[in-house]
Amino acid sequence: MAVLGLGRSGLATARALRAGGADVVAWDDGAPAREKAEGEGIELRDLSKAKAWEGVALLVTSPGIPHLYPKPHPAIAAARAAGVPVDNDIGLFFRSFATREWDSFDQRPKVVAVTGSNGKSTTSALIHHILAESGRPTQLAGNIGRGVLDIEPARDGEVVVLELSSYQTDLARALTPDVAVFTNLSPDHLDRHGGLGGYFAAKRRLFAEGGPDRAVIGIDEDEGRYLANQLSEGKGDDRVIEVSSGQKLEGAAWSVFARKGFLAEWRRGRQVASVDLRDVKGLPGAHNHQNACAAWAVARSLGLGPRAIEAAMRSYPGLPHRSQRIAERDGVAFVNDSKATNVDSAAKALQAFQKIRWICGGLEKEGGLGPLVPFLGTVVKGYVIGREAAGFARQLPGIETEICTTMARAVERAVEEAKPGETVLLAPAAASFDQYDNFEKRGEDFAAEVRRHLG
């Protein structure tokens, strides 16, 4: 077996394959990763060479490595030329998850898989939290937490919750979750998927390849409505649970929606549960209410009761860098949403708070900032960071902006000017790579600067 890419998931894959008795060869374009793997006794082989494929039965590639667009990695192209099948760790997981031990279990383990453009991390973590708080054995893995081949063997009645990116669903040869969730869709990773259609097609594979027993579908975009319609056999089909933030859904056999801060569950034309989400601090704003609806739908489909789910939601602490309230002083809240790396997620963050001192900017993504303009009404002032801060600020008409360039300067100025009742919000609407290794580092820098100024 060959493994391409030796980051977190790649190393976990190599270890798992070796534990299963496979002979493993591996490669990574980065020397430090190769040295780490070699230190574990993993044989290195330059997989871009044609002769490297003699005796190899399968290539397992890491999700970040292009396999089709903009062009295949040379090692993947070489594998295909040699007739070697290509898969990823997600495909291996679904092919190997069930074991003979399951025959003695009282309750078969299940897999919940969550995909979408925005909210999938929060939705996955919230489902995991609800299950854990309810006493159900559960593990969280995939694009969040641990690699899927690094988790423990499933226990009796356990639910494994997977966050899956389009990179992961696009290539996996097996995708067979018991419950699959589609949160929403907005343009992202378009170069990797050859456009919006290819991006949606990668997400759709989670539902089309294995046919989940239950599908939870966010229908606030055309793609979600299309997917729900494709999966449903008609209005009485409760295998599809429709989810929305802002729409009242009464026509579907089973729906969960949030309006004006209230979550409602409807089944077969009548309301069966309702929750006030407005004071749930770990889930601020309409976008998080959509996440709550999706998590609620999953938990209900797994047999949990409304009271247990509501109690767990109220104790949910939130995820780092995703609408994370990191401090409050003199009536000013400081919120870290560094994960808002695109226009759509930043727009949702801007709708979650009033009177915002907005720290934004970074490596701008394709398509510009035009779609953000309708949501700037909550912004008191923008503090723009990044190497191209001036160009970023010019695309934000109608609001006062200050070119700060660095996080340190932006936080300093926002702290100086913020008044009681306002929120200092980091929601960059841009990638971090012009100044940081990743969005986590950017969020950590914001939090550190806030702590420095607040003492």
- Distance between CA atoms of 176 and 233, rounded to whole angstroms? 20
Domain 2-87 fold: Rossmann fold (3.40.50)
For the chain, the domains span: 2-87, 92-314, 324-454
Q: Is 121 annotated as a binding residue?
A: yes
How far the first Cα of the chain sits from its last, in Å, is: 53
pLDDT tens across the length of the chain (455 residues): 999 999 989 999 999 999 999 999 999 999 999 999 999 999 999 999 999 999 999 999 999 999 999 999 999 999 999 999 999 999 999 999 999 999 999 999 999 999 999 889 999 999 999 999 999 999 999 998 789 999 999 999 999 999 999 999 999 999 999 999 999 998 888 899 999 999 999 999 999 988 899 999 999 999 999 999 999 998 889 999 999 998 999 889 999 999 999 999 999 999 999 999 998 988 998 889 999 999 999 999 999 999 999 999 999 988 899 889 999 999 999 999 999 998 988 998 999 999 999 999 999 988 899 999 999 999 999 999 999 999 999 999 999 999 999 999 999 999 999 999 999 999 999 999 999 999 999 999 999 999 999 98
Q: Is 116 annotated as a binding residue?
A: yes
Sign of the dihedral through C-alpha 226, 227, 232, 236: negative
- Distance between CA atoms of 201 and 223, rounded to whole angstroms? 10
Identical fold, 2-87 and 324-454: no
Q: So what's the pLDDT on residue 118?
A: 87
Residue 64 C-beta-side C-alpha neighbours within 13 Å: 9
Residue 232 zone, left/alpha/beta (φ > 0; ψ -120 to 50; rest): beta
Nearest-CA neighbor of 425 among 408, 444, 445, 411? Answer: 411
- Distance between CA atoms of 346 and 365, rounded to whole angstroms? 12
- Distance between CA atoms of 229 and 69, rounded to whole angstroms? 29
Cis peptide before 70 (omega within 30 of 0): yes
Sign of the dihedral through C-alpha 49, 52, 56, 59: negative
Class level of CATH domain 92-314: alpha beta
Q: Is 122 annotated as a binding residue?
A: yes
Q: So what's the pLDDT on residue 411?
A: 98
Superfamily of domain 324-454: Mur ligase, C-terminal domain (3.90.190.20)
Output the CA torsion 201→202→205→206 (10° steps).
-130
pTM above 0.95, yes or no: no
Token couple for 217: 């579908």
Token couple for 238: 């409760």
Q: So what's the pLDDT on residue 181?
A: 98
The rounded radius of gyration (Å) of the Cα atoms in the chain is 23
Q: Is 118 annotated as a binding residue?
A: yes
**What's CA 106's distance to the chain center, in Å?**
32
Strand segments, DSSP code E, in 298-450 are 324-329, 332-336, 356-360, 379-385, 401-405, 423-426
- Distance between CA atoms of 259 and 280, rounded to whole angstroms? 15
* Pure H helices in 62-213: 74-81, 89-96, 120-133, 166-171, 190-193, 196-208
Q: What percentage of the chain's residues is helix, strand, coil (to nearest 5)?
A: 40, 20, 40
